[in-house]
Amino acid sequence: MFARLRRSLKPGERFGAAYDSGASDPRGDLWADRHSVAFAEHYLRSGDAVLDVGANDGRFSLAAALLVGLEGRIDAIEPSPTMRRRLSEAVRRTHGAPVLVHDRMAGERTHLARFVDGTGKSGRRRPPLPGELGGGVIGVESVRLDGAFGQNGYSLMRVDIAGMEAAALAGAEAMLQNRNPPVILLALDAALQDFGSSPEAVSGFLAERGYECILYDADRHRLEYVADPWRTRRLVLAVAESARNHLSQRLAGADRPAAQNASASD
């Protein structure tokens, strides 16, 4: 299957070539967190769908596309025109990556929202704070993930949106109730405080909906159930308690034929 994917690229190209054309392995420079890299590589399967909320310049989306293959689907949400141009160009260069780019912002309600494209006092790409209402503010459609994407079944959702994670998850209430997706790769850090939330509040919100925040250790290839995992790494896993067995089986490769497991370890 991956051979067919690579044949869809121009000679010498591959997923991620737009970013690190001099590197031989797209999994290295394209991912900031090696634990997330290893988790995705062990967890994602051909044909999976991934929802990337805050796709930025597409590094996660394109790397995930290589893992899910042409039979899979990546919905990449990016409200920043600057980052979206880079993302769209990178997708075009792959000549076949199953990445759909959406010029929206995930929020608690559907409306026309304000957005600062990295030109405010904070330098972040996100809705403006009261002191950032100067130049550079643009209008962006904010949508509830439930309404815009809830009809799709996802294996993984990534949410990394500069402190707006709580609002995005609130807009995915029905999806979470349906354990869609069973696993979320989630940023929990001090930026949440800018919008009146915190890692503890988001973790509590998810716990009430049957999700537990944990870590994946790439060095030991195992899940770690620790208190306040965001104090160890800003990117944590939120796992539906009903999906623990599903997750463990995937990480162990128990759902793959023996031949595939052997080739994956080569």
pLDDT at 77: 98
pLDDT one-digit tens code per residue, 22-53 = 333 333 334 457 899 899 999 999 999 999 99
φ, ψ (nearest 5 deg) of residue 182: -75, -20
pLDDT at 134: 59
- Domain regions of the chain by residue span: 2-107+145-265
CB atoms within 10 A of CB 76: 27
pLDDT at 31: 41
Which two three-digit tokens encode residue 45? Answer: 């399967």
pLDDT at 262: 52
Which two three-digit tokens encode residue 166? Answer: 């709580």
pLDDT at 136: 76
pLDDT at 96: 85
d(CA 93, CA 154): 25
Quickly list DSSP for 200-228: HHHHHHHHHTTEEEEEEETTTTEEE--SS
- Give CA 44 to chain center in angstroms: 12
**Residue positions counted in the chain:** 266
Instruction: Answer for the pair 56, 10: CB distance below 8 angstroms, yes or no.
Output: no
> Which contiguous run of DSSP H or E holds residue 174?
helix 173-177
What is the pairing mode between strands 111-117 and 125-126? antiparallel
Local mean pLDDT, 10-residue blocks, the chain (266 residues): 38 38 36 80 97 94 94 97 94 91 96 84 77 76 97 97 97 98 97 96 98 96 96 96 96 78 52
Which two three-digit tokens encode residue 31? Answer: 């991912």
pLDDT at 10: 36
Strand runs labelled E in 43-171:
49-53, 73-77, 99-102, 105-106, 111-117, 125-126, 137-143, 156-159
Which of 162, 152, 100 is closest to 127 using CA atoms?
Answer: 162
In terms of Cβ atoms closer than 10 Å to its own Cβ (0-12, 13-18, 19+), residue 84 is: buried
pLDDT at 229: 97
**What pTM did the predictor assign?**
0.85
Report helix, strand or coil for 259. helix
Q: What is the CATH number of domain 2-107+145-265?
A: 3.40.50.150
